[in-house]
Amino acid sequence: MGLPYDHPCLRLSLLPAPFFVRKVQAVTPDLLLKLSSDSESQEVFSITRTPEEVSVVGQCASDGDPEAKWRCFKIAGPMEFELTGVVCAFTTPLKDAGIPVFAVSTWNTDYVLVPKEKVSDAVEALEGHGWLFDDSVSHLHRKQR
> Which pTM does this prediction carry?
0.85
Domains of the chain, each with CATH number or no CATH: 8-137 (3.30.2130.10)
Q: What is the pLDDT along the chain (145 residues), one digit of tens a residue?
A: 567 878 888 899 999 999 999 898 877 777 666 666 655 556 788 888 888 888 989 888 887 888 889 999 999 888 888 788 889 999 999 999 999 999 999 999 999 999 999 999 999 999 999 999 998 887 775 543 3
110-115 and 54-59 beta bridge pairing: unpaired
Instruction: Estimate to the nearest angstrom the gap between the alpha carbon of 104 and the chain centroid.
Output: 7
CA separation, residue 85 to residues 62, 81, 92 (Å): 33, 10, 10
CA distance 42 to 47: 13
CA distance 38 to 73: 21
